[in-house]
Chain A
Amino acid sequence: MRFLFKTDYRQDVRLFRHNGQRFWYGLLLLLVLLAPLALSDFYLGELALVCIYAIAGIGLMLLVGYTGLVSLGHAAFLAIGAYAHTWFISHGWPFPLALLKASLITALVGAVVGLPAMRMTGIYLAIATLAFAAIVDQVITRWESVTGGFRGMLVPKAQFLGVDLSGSVAFYFLCLLLLLGCMVFALNILRSPTGRAMNAVRDSEISAQSMGIHLARTKSVAFALSAGFTGLAGGLLAHRLGYLAPDAFTVLLSIQLLLMVVVGGLGSLHGVIFGALFLGLLPQAIAMLRDALPPALGQVPGLEPGIFGLILILFLVYEPLGIYGRWLKIRQYFELFPLYRKATWKRQKSYLRTERMR
């Protein structure tokens, strides 16, 4: 058990609370930086994808976990980021600027989507985002001059100042660095007034207003930030895919993003990382499962989403805190050994109160 002796308020404000945290995260960072020495190109590519998912996950988590606004159409932001970035690069913009502009454009769209959000609650907003995603899909398919419509759009190779960023090691480091940057930004937001305002809006809109929080502005900012992060991920995803087409950004992808956030553990950035790992490695696991199962089961076309659905159900019913929650429980078991109590984590029996009176 660790006892922290605090002498300064700044200790509570800093990113790392104590040296133990610095040590372990430092070690993790080292491992991650040295990964190219041990892993093959294929796995580096997979890890890069995990980083991309994680960046998108940070965006989604900010919206869903921290502001309480559900988005069922987040793949649309990935699409906007991907297409915008590719368009800029194809028109001569240098890589970092193209990525930045794509991210900003997506953030702007996010802010616009967020505008009606102040009038809608919970499920209505979720459906509206679904509708928004369907419309974005239509726009991409029909705006052929920019997006190439059904024929799609070829993504130029990533390179900056003559350095080729498309090789697996370079791309991996690119995605990793951007992920680290995004994590720092997200953590900064969360420990500052903006983050608290977002949490307040999630928990009680009425008292948030009484505390001087501008509801509409906070929701718009949340949407904009969320879209911005996701758009950045979209730009990176474009390079990973190599070729963009409307059917790469479906409702299934939106649900997978949500799956990542829920299974990883809602409400924490650790959860995002766990979820991204889960989402990135799941297709491999399913492929292996497919081979192991008899053909009648293994060749079913809807198997992958079916397994997603099953996992989602199992997690929500048995481990609503997600993988991160399970990790915390395990860690606490060891920290408090032999004094660990299962009851600490026991879910309070809660009763339904209608949301129709708000």
Chain B
Amino acid sequence: MEFTQLLISGISQGCVYGLIALGFVLIYKATEMVNFAQGDLMMLGAYFAYTFVHILNFPFVWGLLATMATMAAVGALIERTVLRPMIGEPPFAVLMITIGLGFLLRAIAGAVWGSEPKSITSPLAGGVVRVDGVAIGYENIAIIGGTLILSLLLFAFFRFTRMGMAMQAASQNQLAAYYCGIPVKRVYSIVWALSAAIAATAGVLVAPITLVDPMMGFVGIKAFAAAIVGGFGSLQGAMAGGLLIGIVEQFAGLYLPTGFSDTTAYVLLLLMLFVRPEGLFATMQRKKV
């Protein structure tokens, strides 16, 4: 019973990690940039949702859609101003700039909304489903369900649409992509918009459970570990990694002394890097010289 409860919590938490990791991997797959500010994009999404739902009094679903649209715009804006000049620069520089971006976003959020935690009440609040004596909150179902839908949509997008293929091409060899007529810069903007929208969704889904404050983006670091465990560059990997870490974390909280469960993500990460650096679903290949 407790096992199932922990499992559900783990899956739910894992979905949150997985969604953020999806955002990472999306940007990486398409632009080969590592976005350390992904968690902070989620944080911004949660704040925008709070604004739409509680300050402007939108109905919840409209608030969610408005948030996604706004964050998509924000994502594209960030890409245009901060990341566009970094195309072709070494990965380290891009990493540093996204770290800086994260700091900046947190400061801005703190300035605009204040640092006191806010809460978002969703229409699903409080409801539980009882299966076999196990109580599953509606929020958890929403998280898991929402994640499933998003993952399937993304998978189909990359597999079957031209834009999806264009994104992959642009990330592997930009110059060649230009020559093939792919509008690389526009592709990048779309990628960032998409990724920000996904992060926003994660923020909205998780906000009713946790509170909204500027530091909530730090979960992004664990999501990062999830992406690596799953195999950076693989969408399935991001989800798998997130679920793995989410579940193991819950059980670690039960069996290990307090405080250790926090380092679960890091330990798993290091383990994976030692044993199988390419992650669960490997995408790195050997260069032919």
Contact = CB atoms under 8 A, between A and B. Distances in A.
Q: Touching in the complex, A and B, CB below 8 A? A: yes
Interface of A: 64, 68, 70, 116, 119-120, 122-124, 126-128, 130-132, 134-135, 138, 141, 206, 255, 258-259, 262, 296-297, 300-303, 305-313, 316-317, 320, 349-358
Contact of B287 (A258, A262, A303, A358): A358
B263 interface: yes
A302 B218 CA distance: 14
User: Chain A interface secondary structure, helix, strand, loop or mixed?
Assistant: helix
A262 B89 CA distance: 14
Contacts of A349: 88
Q: How large is the interface on B (under 10, 10 to 19, 20 to 34, 35 or more residues)?
A: 35 or more
Give me the 4 closest cross-chain CB pairs, A-B, nearest first.
Answer: A306-B107, A309-B103, A312-B100, A350-B88
Interface of B: 31-32, 34, 82, 85-89, 91-93, 95-97, 99-111, 115, 171-175, 178, 214, 221, 224-225, 228, 232-233, 259-260, 263, 266-267, 269-270, 273-274, 277, 283-287, 289
Given A124-B228, A127-B224, A134-B266, A356 B233 contact: yes
A305 B284 contact: no
Contact of B174 (A302, A311, A352, A357): A352
7 contacts: A124-B232, A130-B266, A141-B259, A300-B110, A309-B103, A316-B86, A351-B175
A353 B174 contact: yes
A354 B85 contact: no
B111 A120 contact: no
B277 A120 contact: yes
A309 B225 contact: no
Contact of B87 (A116, A302, A352, A354): A352
Contacts of A311: 100
Given A128-B273, A302-B214, A349-B88, A320 B93 contact: yes
Given A135-B266, A300-B110, A305-B107, A317 B97 contact: yes
A134 B224 CA distance: 14
Contacts of A255: 99, 103
Contacts of B221: 130
A68 B233 CA distance: 22
Nearest to A316: B97
A312 B32 contact: no
Given A122-B91, A358-B287, A312 B174 contact: no
Contacts of B86: 316-317
A68 B289 CA distance: 21
Given A116-B273, A305-B107, A313-B104, A352 B31 contact: yes
Given A123-B95, A135-B263, A302 B85 contact: no
Nearest to A309: B103
Contacts of B111: 296-297, 300
Contacts of B85: 317
Given A119-B273, A305-B107, A316 B96 contact: yes
Given A127-B225, A127-B228, A358-B284, A306 B103 contact: yes
A218 B266 CA distance: 26
Contacts of A68: 92
Given A131-B225, A313-B97, A307 B269 contact: no
Nearest to A318: B85
A309 B224 contact: no
A352 B103 contact: no
Contacts of B100: 259, 308-313, 316
A124 to B, nearest CB: 6
Contacts of A206: 287, 289
Given A309-B101, A312-B96, A357-B284, 8 more contacts: A116-B273, A131-B266, A302-B115, A306-B104, A307-B107, A309-B99, A312-B99, A352-B31
Nearest to A306: B107
Contacts of A358: 284, 286-287
Contact of B91 (A309, A317, A350, A355): A355
A72 B269 CA distance: 15
A215 to B, nearest CB: 15
A134 B106 contact: no
Contacts of A122: 91-92
Contacts of B224: 127
A351 B107 CA distance: 32
B88 A317 contact: no
A217 B269 CA distance: 24
A253 to B, nearest CB: 13
Contact of A309 (B31, B102, B277): B102
Contact of B285 (A301, A317, A356): A356
Nearest to B274: A116
Nearest to A298: B111
